[in-house]
Each structure stands twice: as C-alpha cells, then as structure tokens.
Structure 1
Amino acid sequence: MTEIEQVTVAGGGVLGSQIAYQCAFKGKNVTVYDIGDDAVTAAKKRIKELRAAYKRDMKATDEQFDAGLERISFATDLGEAVRNADLVIEAIPEKPSIKHGFYRSLAKAAPEKTIFASNSSTYVPSTFAEDTGRPDKFLNMHFANQIWRMNTAEIMGTDQTDPSVYDQIVSFARQIGMVPIQLHKEQPGYVLNTLLMPLMGAAGMLWAHDVADPYTIDKTWMIATGAPKGPFGFYDMVGLRTAYNILCQRQNDNPQARPLLDKLKAMIDQGKLGEETGQGFYHYPDPDYRDAEFLKS
C-alpha cells in the first residue's frame, strides 16, 4: 500500500483551504488547484488567516504554522497540479455539471496511481464514479467546517471502490488528525448532514414562517439541550451558501420551503454568508450566543 504524501486539493474555497492547510500542517505536501489567479489569491488569504485559529485551538506556534505554509503550493493548471498526486481531494462547487466536467478532465490529467476523493456534502460517489475513469480508486471523504476542531472525515465508497483504497483513505484520515467515520453504504448527507440538516431545516421554517426569530429559536435549543450553539449558529458555521444549496436539493419541490429559500438567498445576496464573512445570523468573531448573558435575556 503506497503512502499518501502528495495531496492536491481542487478548490480553494472555505473548506478546500482548510483541508489543504490541515494536510500540510500534518506533514503532507499539498498543491491547491483553482481555476484562476483571483481564486488562488483568495485561497492564499484564507489559508494565512487560519493562523489565529491554529494557535488558539491547536496550540500551534508560529514556527509550526509557518512550516505548514511552506508545504503548500498553488496552481491554476490542472495537469501541473496533479502531476505527482497520490490523492486528489475535490472541494469544488456543489453543482453536478461542474463536477461531471471536472472529473472528466481530471481523469485525463492525473497519473494512474492517483486516488480521487470528493468532499461533496450532497452527492454520493456513484454520481460521478464513471466520470473518473477509475471507479475503483474513487470515493467520498467529507469534512466538517473548522476541520482542525470538528475533526471528522466521513468516508463513503461505492460497490466499485477497491476495499484496499478505502482502507488507505481511512489510514490517511488518521494521519491528518481526523477521526474516520466509516459508512457501510452510500447515504446522501452522510451521517452528519443526515442528522444536522433536518434540525436546520426545521429551525429555518420556524423563522421563515414568522413563528419565532432566530435568537429565540437558538435559545430554546440551547437551554433545552445544553448545546453550545443553536441551529442558526450552525447555519453560520456551515456557511449560508452551502446550507442553501443543500436545502435546495432537499426542499426545492416543497412550496412550504420557498419562504426559507428566499430569505436565505436574500442574505447571501447581501454578503451575509456566516463566519466566512464575519456576519450571518450573528456577528463574528464574537457571536452573541457565546455571551454568558445570551440565555438569560
């Protein structure tokens, strides 16, 4: 079994940047691929901004953080980005047309040895397996936002995934500090989103239909369950764009969900994307739900 040392992360968005840095922090050589110079510049900025979080949550020194940065390179040419890759982790937008096209291009560019893993939140791996040209070396590996803290890696193969490849990705997940969550069959939403999205959807419906405001809904959940944040805190953590895309997949044919989707879209259009932009349902880095008085007022 070949050790995975050369990792390419396709997509330098919020989660792609986190995946790339976590791999580098744990000693892997990483190339971040994105479609243009502006996207690469944004990815570099996101990665550098992780310093405070790693120092706070991982007790990393500046020297350790800088060592991780030195193991990351960037590319806008797919062939160059995957030339030596042992593993490509795909973290591009959750749009099937984009993913189908990407995997067809990747299949032509990547060496025969390369394993492909999708971080898709919504789509099971069999959706894109044939596009890869190597369904035996393809599976999903899904990370939660803030992966250095929320360190699960949900691993889902298809009936075509080589068991030895699956085991290799389980081992890799441990190497980069994740807890491997091994799924025995394909499940849209994996374990985490299968549990989380109904909660967020129900909370969103209460808000969209004017039953209660987000703070009241979150306080209710936090007081009654002892949870450290409520469903609208999760909206901000997951990111409103991601939550909106997932809810569109699940609720687009439900007319009762239209007010929720419209309200979320309005917030996205205003740039209120959650923790990523410093404002969503709360303001960051110090959201009200972390205030000791939040549950009392």
Structure 2
Amino acid sequence: MNYKNITVAGSGVLGSQIAYQTAFKGFYVSVYDINDEALDRAKERITKLKLRYQEDLGATEEEVNAAFNRMSFNSDLAKTVAKADLVIEAIPEVVAIKTDFYKELGKVAPKQTIFATNSSTLLPSQFALATGRPEKFLALHFANEIWLNNTAEVMKHPGTDMEVFDEVITFAKAIGMVALPLQKEQPGYILNSLLVPFLEAAQILLLNGISDPETIDKTWMIATGAPKGPFAILDVVGITTAYNIASAKAQAGIQGFDKLANLLKTEYIDKGKIGNGVGEGFYKYPDPYYLDPEFLVG
C-alpha cells in the first residue's frame, strides 16, 4: 500500500472528520464538495476538530496545524482527484446522487485510483458499474467521532479485487483505525446492522406518541448504563442522515417510514434542528440536558 494522496468527497460531519483524521496521520488530503459555501462550512468544522484533537488526544498545536496544512479544498472534481490514490466518498445517502457522482468520478479520476464509499446503509454493488472500475471499488465505513470511535469497516462486493481489499485494510490501519474486514456485503455493515434498528425503534416510539426523546433516552441510559440514549446519538449522527434513511425506506414501500420522514423534516430539519453540529437537534448544545446530573434522577 503506497497511498499518499487521498481525496474525500463530501465535507459534511463525517466527511470532514475522515479528511482531518487522514491528514493528521500524515497523508495529503484533498476535500471536494459541490460549492465554496459547503467547503467553508467544512473548514469551520475542522477548526473545531483541531481543538477536540488537543483535548481528547493530547495533540499539540503544532501537530493539529500541520494536519490542516496537509489539506486542500476544491469544488472542481477533476482538479481535486487529479493525483488521488484513493477517493473516499461521503456524500448524502441518496442512490441517484451517489450514482451520478460515481459516473462523473469515473470519467475524471486517474485509472489507478481506488474508490471507496462510506455509505451507511447502501451496498457497494449498487454503484459498482457506475464507477466504471468495479474491481477497484469497495466500502470503507467509519463511525462518528472517528478519532475516538476508531472503527473502519472494510466491505468488498463480489467484484472487488482482493489486492484492493487488502490495500484498503492496510490504509485504514495507517490512519489509526481498527480495520474490520467484511467478507460479504451486508446492508449497514456490522455497526449499522446493530445501530440503525435501535435508532429507528426510538424514532417510532416518538412518532407513535409513546414518549418523548428525553424519557426514551433516560430509559436506555439508566437501564443499560450507556452514556447516550438514541436521540443523543441521532444528534451526533445528524438528523438529515436519519431523514434520508427514512425517506429511502418510505420510497421502498416500508410502512410507517413516510410518516417518520415527514416528522423529521417538518419538526426538525425545516426548523434548522439538524444535530449538535449546528447547536440544536433533539437537544440544545453545547450543554445538552442529557449531560446534566439531574437528567437521570427520579
């Protein structure tokens, strides 16, 4: 594995984290997004990440600044991937958007460039043909707060070259991850096969008026000793991601998810409540109520 130049396509919450973690571990990283406004937001996220790396990992100011200096930002896809050894895609969980992206990426990326999707719920085989290089394509999935929750699920599809699979496992280790190989395709990998049903169960309880987010979280935290409940986790994941997953299931005809998608859109997304990154989701930040010592009392 001799990767040096990495492109991260999509500079949202997790895309920004993947890009910064990769740069922190010594790689040169080009960040791509659709316009300069999105890239400016990414720079703001990464500026905050620098502080988290100092607080959580004990990184020095020199180290976090050096990582940032190994990054570049561009809204021109062809320029961004011109020298890429690996492109990690972290764009929205919408099949049409990803398909169009891979068709364009396949045209402009160097022939030797490996493509990896960070899709949370979609399978690499859904996009393999669109890439124009199915043997050089697979999934590489990270958990949120990548510098702390350092899992990297590496999942091949039936057409992935085994040498590429092994190279990406090596790369994942090189950026400080615990590489978790998946030998067969699985919607949601290991992590989201466990996490998504859990989060959906909580959202359905809310949708059906069974209880409110705070009570549902309190129940989970007290009963299991977990540091966060499902709605606190959703604020970290991002409510837009939850909405996209619900919308996809609604479009697939799965009962109830149309109402859930509508709830998330009208009561949260349309009101700017999309997660802790913007200061409010199900909770208000930076001091969410679930961290208050009184939250678990009574």
TM-score, normalised relative to structure 1: 0.96
Partner of 1:11: 10
Matches within 5 A, 1:76-225: 76-225=75-224
Q: Evaluate the alpha carbon distance shift between residue 280 and residue 86 of structure 1 in structure 2; reply closer, same or farther with a 3 A threshold.
A: same
Whole-angstrom distance in 2 between the partners of 1:147 and 1:105: 28
Whole-angstrom distance in 1 between the partners of 2:211 and 2:36: 44
Whole-angstrom distance in 2 between the partners of 1:149 and 1:268: 27
1:62 pairs with 2:74: no
Partner of 1:32: 31
Name segments (4+ residues, structure 1) moved above 3 Å: 254-259
Partner of 1:275: 276
Following superposition, the deviation at residue 114 of structure 1 comes to: 0.7
Whole-angstrom distance in 2 between the partners of 1:66 and 1:292: 35
CA contact 1:244–1:261 (8 Å) conserved in 2 = yes
Matches within 5 A, 1:242-281: 242-251=241-250, 253-266=253-266, 267-281=268-282
Following superposition, the deviation at residue 149 of structure 1 comes to: 1.2
CA contact 1:137–1:161 (8 Å) conserved in 2 = yes
The one-letter amino acid paired with 2:22 is: C
User: What fraction of aligned residue pairs are identical, expressed as a percent?
Assistant: 55
Following superposition, the deviation at residue 7 of structure 1 comes to: 0.1
Following superposition, the deviation at residue 134 of structure 1 comes to: 1.0
Query: Unmatched 5+ residue regions in structure 2?
Result: none
Secondary structure in 2 aligned to 1:7? Answer: strand
- Measured against aligned partners, the alpha-carbon deviations of 1:64-105 in whole angstroms (never above 9, x if no partner) come to 110100000111211111111110001112121221111111
Secondary structure in 2 aligned to 1:286? Answer: coil
The one-letter amino acid paired with 1:198 is: P
Secondary structure in 1 aligned to 2:164? Answer: helix
- Measured against aligned partners, the alpha-carbon deviations of 1:138-161 in whole angstroms (never above 9, x if no partner) come to 001011111111111111111110
CA contact 1:9–1:16 (8 Å) conserved in 2 = yes
CA contact 1:122–1:188 (8 Å) conserved in 2 = yes
CA contact 1:90–1:118 (8 Å) conserved in 2 = yes
CA contact 2:289–2:295 (8 Å) conserved in 1 = yes
Secondary structure in 1 aligned to 2:163? Answer: helix
CA contact 1:90–1:117 (8 Å) conserved in 2 = yes
Whole-angstrom distance in 2 between the partners of 1:251 and 1:150: 30
Following superposition, the deviation at residue 276 of structure 1 comes to: 1.5
Following superposition, the deviation at residue 63 of structure 1 comes to: 1.0
170-179 vs 90-99, which deviates more? Answer: 90-99
Whole-angstrom distance in 2 between the partners of 1:81 and 1:61: 29
Partner of 1:291: 292
Matches within 5 A, 1:229-244: 229-244=228-243
Whole-angstrom distance in 1 between the partners of 2:205 and 2:77: 44
Count of residue pairs the alignment pairs up: 296
Q: How large is the Cα RMSD of the aligned pairs?
A: 1.3
Query: Unmatched 5+ residue regions in structure 1?
Result: none
Whole-angstrom distance in 1 between the partners of 2:59 and 2:190: 30
Following superposition, the deviation at residue 251 of structure 1 comes to: 4.9
